[in-house]
Amino acid sequence: MSLEVPVSKAGLTQNGDEACRLLQGHDAPQNEEVPLLGIRLPVLRNFAGKKLRRIWQDRMSARCVDPQKGRSSRFYTAETAAGGEAAPFRDAGKDGMPERGLDSVPFRVWNEALTIKTMPNINDNFLKLQAGYLFPEIGRRVNAFAESHPEAAKRLIRCGIGDVTEPLPMAAIEAMHRAVDDLSTHERFHGYGPEQGYFWLREAIAKKAYQVHGVHVEVDEIYVSDGAKCDTGNILDIFGTGNKIAVPDPVYPVYVDTNVMAGNTGSSSPDGSYEGLVYLPCTPENNFVPQLPDEHVDLIYLCFPNNPTGAVASRNELLKWVEYARANRAIILYDSAYEAFIQDSSIPRSIFEIPGARDCAIEFRSFSKQGGFTGVRCGYVVIPKELHGYDSEGNKVSISRLWSRRTSTKFNGASYIVQRGAAALFTMEGMAQTAALISHYLGNASLLLNACRQAGMRVWGGENAPYVWVQCPDGLDSWQMFDKMLHEANVVITPGSGFGSRGEGFFRISAFNSRENVDEVCRRIHSLFAR
């Protein structure tokens, strides 16, 4: 919405009060801040013989509507002088306006058709985002297929989104039932919990997820959340603008999209990449493990086991990244949401297994895949005490302190019931049941891996990860492959291009499914591609 304020020429020449109303667009109390073309401008209501108090932009503009002519006559601006004080306005001397200007409010012509802005601004960075987030777009296409092919839809098997299918471990179920019972009595009732998470859950994480494996993580370095996806995006709250950010390509879309939302990128290119990000190529030639960048970067996203490729990084490969980060004062944002799927003991499960990582890394983990908590929602972040960033003057600032402040301000913590369920996963019963769950999904991955190989396709992942990464056959691009699998095999996969430009020509199959469904998918792949 815009305001066009009729102001008489006499008013402009006789007193500054009319000019003030022009500039403000309404009668406002003295010294009120008013929006003018997106600029917050303090204006004195009566300023005859005075300059405007202060202007925070180079120009301000307002439309003058001549009531006699019934249309806009001219556009006028005031320009700031050095030091931020308003320079004298000058009269245009055109359209019947007087040649002389008032000492208080002389104007000069500005040729752009601008009006006084009175509506709320949005975050324009959201407009840079491409049309749709990957998984809602997959959902839209699948729904359209189901509506137009109702019989085929009955055979549909979804191997696209990485959502679990098996029931929760019984240890977690029983613990959550007991937690519900706790809330039914005055003696055991729990309201708001600690924003960082209950001590007993953080202690279980520190001991059973890290210390038992010889990894130094302390209880007060753990922050419980509602999932790793949220955390990898929200972590940007504590980092300023102007950082050079590196992401793998292909990449989990959340890393890119949240940086776009935060204003850390330019516009998108036709291939889906964004200006301002440093893309680290992940290809068959490097086994989908990115190489060090050729330029300095400040924040580095790494994800192992990788989503979407299923790749894992060796100890030596991670050591290179830690050494780079320490040498360049960079911070590694390490997503290890799938660490529970690592079966090879030589592959690190945590970045903190690498010497020096506590100086340069943040680790994100989740119970979503480990314990089937995608619908329950619980995860955590580990931020070592040694980790520091730098303010605008080069002073060290504790990253943990900033995250703690952000968490206490914007998050009320995961629920008591959920945290009791998560803690139960670290009991002997819970760990055994979780191991069985992981084994089930890895068994699915192995079947899918072999089925694609037998169909003559190149395949990666599927051994220490729940994802199988497949090269599209017969020159198909990734969305063509998506459509072929959907329409001819009635199987939903994930097109690789949704993960970045270097994902084009590949697709991802998720192993999160029942064994019955996976066996059927394997049969359909064989039928569709067998040579």
Question: What gap in Å lies between CA 318 and CA 105, rounded to an integer?
Answer: 65
Q: What is the pLDDT of residue 531?
A: 55
Both structure tokens of 478: 């990734």
CA 530, distance to chain mean position in Å, is: 40
Both structure tokens of 516: 């019955």
- Give tens-digit pLDDT for 348-360: 999 999 999 999 9
Question: What gap in Å lies between CA 364 and CA 381, rounded to an integer?
Answer: 5
- Whether 325 shows a pLDDT value over 80: the answer reads yes
Nearest to 182 by CA among 209, 157, 200, 204: 200
Band of residue 132 on the pLDDT scale cut at 50, 70, 90? low
Band of residue 118 on the pLDDT scale cut at 50, 70, 90? low
Which residues of the chain does CATH 3.90.1150.10 include?
127-165+431-529
- Whether 362 shows a pLDDT value over 50: the answer reads yes
- Give tens-digit pLDDT for 1-27: 333 333 333 333 233 444 444 444 433
Q: What is the pLDDT of residue 224?
A: 98
User: What is the fold of 170-174+197-429?
Assistant: Aspartate Aminotransferase; domain 2 (3.40.640)
Question: What gap in Å lies between CA 326 and CA 494, rounded to an integer?
Answer: 36
Mean pLDDT of 264-291: 94
Instruction: Tell me if 92 sits within 8 A of 76, measured CB to CB.
Output: yes
pLDDT: is 279 or 39 the higher one? 279
Residue type, 1: M
pLDDT: is 81 or 468 the higher one? 468
Instruction: Tell me if 139 sits within 8 A of 147, measured CB to CB.
Output: no
Phi/psi of residue 214, each to 5°?
Answer: 80, 20
Mean pLDDT of 397-403: 98
Q: What is the pLDDT of residue 130?
A: 80
Q: How many CB atoms lie within 10 A of CB 137?
A: 15
Question: What gap in Å lies between CA 142 and CA 488, rounded to an integer?
Answer: 13
The string over 88-99, giving b where at least 16 C-beta atoms fall within 10 Å of a residue's C-beta and e elsewhere, is ebebbeeeebee
Instruction: Tell me if 25 sits within 8 A of 118, measured CB to CB.
Output: yes
- Give tens-digit pLDDT for 450-462: 999 999 999 999 9
Both structure tokens of 452: 């694609």
Q: What is the pLDDT of residue 133?
A: 65
User: What is the fold of 127-165+431-529?
Assistant: Aspartate Aminotransferase, domain 1 (3.90.1150)
Q: Is the dihedral of CA 474, 480, 482, 484 positive or negative?
A: negative
Exposure on the CB side of residue 518, measured as CA atoms within 13 A: 24
Which residues of the chain does CATH 3.40.640.10 include?
170-174+197-429
State pTM to two decimals: 0.79
Question: What gap in Å lies between CA 80 and CA 386, rounded to an integer?
Answer: 46
- Give tens-digit pLDDT for 140-174: 889 999 999 999 999 999 998 889 999 999 999 99
